Structure 1
Amino acid sequence: MLTTQQLIDIEQLQKECESHDHVQLKLNWEMLRERTSDQMDYLQYEHGELVAFLGLYAFGSAVEVCGMVKPSERRKGYFQRLFDHAMEHIKRSGYKKILLNAPAGSDAAKSFLNKQGVKYAFSEHQMKW
């Protein structure tokens, strides 16, 4: 279960990343707020500041991975460490499909995904009214 302060920190980090990268991150806020355990969230704090976040969102036998790193703290291995811990949890939990969610306009996300050797599968589109 995430604390109120952790939720505030995640929201602040999201705003900073979205502003810097000109993207919209999908963090499934309803699920984050309703967590009953902290096994699905990975947070990296440095000097009291949240610098990286990774959340897992289970949908049946599939799990979606979403996350972000503070722009000034990228290329320091924070997200890779969180991702490695999350992958251990995913393997133990027996999920059949892993979906890595990344905004199309994020060069940092593309770089990370290329490094992982994953293949592009599909895009989601968001409709606004």
Structure 2
Amino acid sequence: MNYTVEEVRQPEDVRALEAAVNTFDGIDVKVGHEAVGQNDYAVYADDLLVGYLMLFPYLENEYEVNALVHPDYRKQGVFKALLETAKRDAKANGCEAFTFVIDRKSKSGKAVVDHLGAAYRFSEYNLVLKKAELFLKPNEVSLREATDADRPLIIETLSEAFGDPIDVTENIYRQIDTPDRVTYIGEVEGRPVGVIRALLSGDDAGSIHAFGVRASEQGKGYGSKMLKQMVQQLFRMGRTKLELDVETENKAALEIYKRAGFAENGGYEFYLLEL
């Protein structure tokens, strides 16, 4: 069957599709419907959204891909239509590869990347906050909200923390520099030691990300204290449903998160497909 790829008509359509997929597959995938309308593609059957694909251009030549197909419309060409349209547009913009993000419990997702011949890259745990230290005092490390003047500091810190070139970090940060995020600078005696951010969603949720400590300040316990301060700050804002993602091989970071009250809640696998 031939399907027409179009724009998403309503953000609520994505939420409904996401719920249908999660219920059927027994997973808990979130495709970022807060950003509906940005680099995304949709297939409708009458008024029902049956396929959705979102591109996240975190690098100029490599885009991250999240996709959903309604359980009743699988193996009917919906995903193929979405992927071919997205590939055409991405190639025109200089993209050379897609990185697919798959819930590690999704059998259908893994079947798709296997069929495409995509190569496994790495995995991440998704962690959710189970227990928070609500009355933690600053105790050496304090947080202050970042300003526009802090942007060079933020880019340099994240570049050091994740080992990426400045230009790569700048490009990634530009993609996630949106109004629904908050950014804080960790300080010790007035000097900056790290950066931590959170994406705010709904009325009470937050996803911590872009969290890094400057190379010269690592190994001093500042990361753990910054994270606990961030949890406390988000609670003050009414954000009590908190989560974050961490690579499964990053054992040191995983331990920091667990000590701060986070626990494993599923995860994701990443697969690379050259275009």
Question: Structure 1-normalised TM-score?
Answer: 0.85
Question: Larger deviation: 12-21 or 88-97?
Answer: 88-97
After TM superposition, the structure 1 = structure 2 runs for residues 53-68 of structure 1, keeping only pairs within 5 Å, are: 53-61=52-60, 62-68=62-68
- The 8 Å contact of residues 53 and 67 in structure 1, kept in 2 or not, is answered as yes
User: What is residue 107 of structure 1 aligned with on the other side?
Assistant: 107
Q: CA deviation at 1:46?
A: 0.8
Answering whether residue 54 of structure 2 is matched by residue 50 of structure 1, we say no
- The 8 Å contact of residues 14 and 33 in structure 2, kept in 1 or not, is answered as no
1:106 alignment partner AA:
S
Q: Percent identity?
A: 25
- The 8 Å contact of residues 42 and 82 in structure 1, kept in 2 or not, is answered as yes
User: What is residue 127 of structure 2 aligned with on the other side?
Assistant: 127
Residue 101 of structure 1: SS of its match in structure 2?
Answer: strand
- The 8 Å contact of residues 54 and 67 in structure 2, kept in 1 or not, is answered as yes
Q: Deviations over 1:70-106 (max 9, x none)?
A: 1111110101110111011111111254211111111
Q: CA deviation at 1:6?
A: 2.0
Q: Structure 1: any 5+ residue segments left out of the alignment?
A: none
1:66 alignment partner AA:
N
1:108 alignment partner AA:
S
Residue 85 of structure 2: SS of its match in structure 1?
Answer: helix
For residues 121 and 60 of structure 1, the distance between their equivalents in structure 2, rounded to whole angstroms, comes to: 16
User: What is residue 8 of structure 1 aligned with on the other side?
Assistant: 12
Q: CA deviation at 1:30?
A: 3.7
| Structure with greater strand percent | 2
- Structure whose CA Rg is larger: 2
Q: CA deviation at 1:60?
A: 3.2
- The 8 Å contact of residues 31 and 57 in structure 1, kept in 2 or not, is answered as no
Q: CA deviation at 1:63?
A: 1.2
1:123 alignment partner AA:
S
Answering whether residue 28 of structure 2 is matched by residue 24 of structure 1, we say yes
Root mean square deviation, CA, Å: 1.7
Q: CA deviation at 1:24?
A: 1.7
Question: Structure 2-normalised TM-score?
Answer: 0.42
Figure out how many residues of one structure are paired with residues of the other and give that number. Answer: 122
| Structure with greater helix percent | 1
User: What is residue 77 of structure 1 aligned with on the other side?
Assistant: 77
